[in-house]
């Protein structure tokens, strides 16, 4: 499966959603995650993300490994998102912030 990582938090650009052929994205208040049940590993979302938040699970950097179970768990209870929406208001300010995992609004 593919996994959304920390870089998405408080940005949530949602460009990734429009290219997903299986509607695998789920929307939280300040991040998206991918449902491992729906992802077919086509990888078309990867280059769409302006902050490079999306990885194939085997390629997730060590600092981001915790997001593999986070995607699996939160995708069970967050709603499906099938079309892009406006980024969060301060998305461009948060895009370059490295350490923002504590900002995740579950
Ligand atoms: Fe997040 Fe990137 Fe999609 S910021 S919402 S993974 S385009």
CATH (domain of 15): 3.30.70.20
pLDDT on residue 7: 98
Q: pLDDT tens track of the chain, all 106 residues?
A: 999 999 999 999 999 999 999 999 999 999 999 999 999 999 999 999 999 999 999 999 999 999 999 999 999 999 999 999 999 999 999 999 999 999 999 9
Full residue range of the structural domain in which residue 56 is found: 2-82
Is position 53 within any domain?
yes
Is position 96 within any domain?
no
**Would you say the CB of residue 32 lies under 6 angstroms from ligand 1?**
yes
**Would you say the CB of residue 13 lies under 6 angstroms from ligand 1?**
yes
Separation between Cα atoms, residue 17 and residue 33, nearest integer Å? 10
User: If you ran DSSP here, which 8-state letter would residue 94 be given?
Assistant: H
Both tokens of 8, joined, read 């998405």
Is position 65 within any domain?
yes
Half-sphere exposure of 40 (CA within 13 A, CB side): 7
Separation between Cα atoms, residue 42 and residue 65, nearest integer Å? 21
Distance 53 CA to ligand 1 centre (A): 6
Is position 99 within any domain?
no
Domains: count for the chain: 1
Is position 54 within any domain?
yes
**Would you say the CB of residue 54 lies under 6 angstroms from ligand 1?**
yes
Q: Which long-range contacts (CB under 8 A, 24 or more apart) does 89-93 make?
A: 90/10, 91/10, 91/11, 91/12, 91/13
Is position 7 within any domain?
yes
Is position 92 within any domain?
no
Is position 103 within any domain?
no
pTM over 0.95: yes
pLDDT on residue 23: 98
Interface pTM, i.e. ipTM: 0.94
């Amino acid at each position: 499966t593919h996994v959304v990582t920390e870089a998405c938090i408080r940005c949530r650009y949602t460009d990734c959603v429009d290219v997903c052929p299986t509607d695998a994205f789920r929307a939280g208040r300040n991040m998206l995650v991918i449902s491992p049940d729906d992802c077919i590993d086509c990888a078309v979302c990867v280059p769409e993300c302006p902050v490079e938040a999306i990885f194939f699970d085997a390629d997730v950097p060590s600092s981001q490994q915790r997001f593999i179970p986070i995607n699996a768990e939160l995708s069970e209870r967050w709603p499906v998102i099938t079309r892009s929406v406006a980024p969060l208001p301060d998305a461009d300010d948060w895009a370059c912030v490295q350490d923002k995992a504590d900002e995740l609004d579950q």
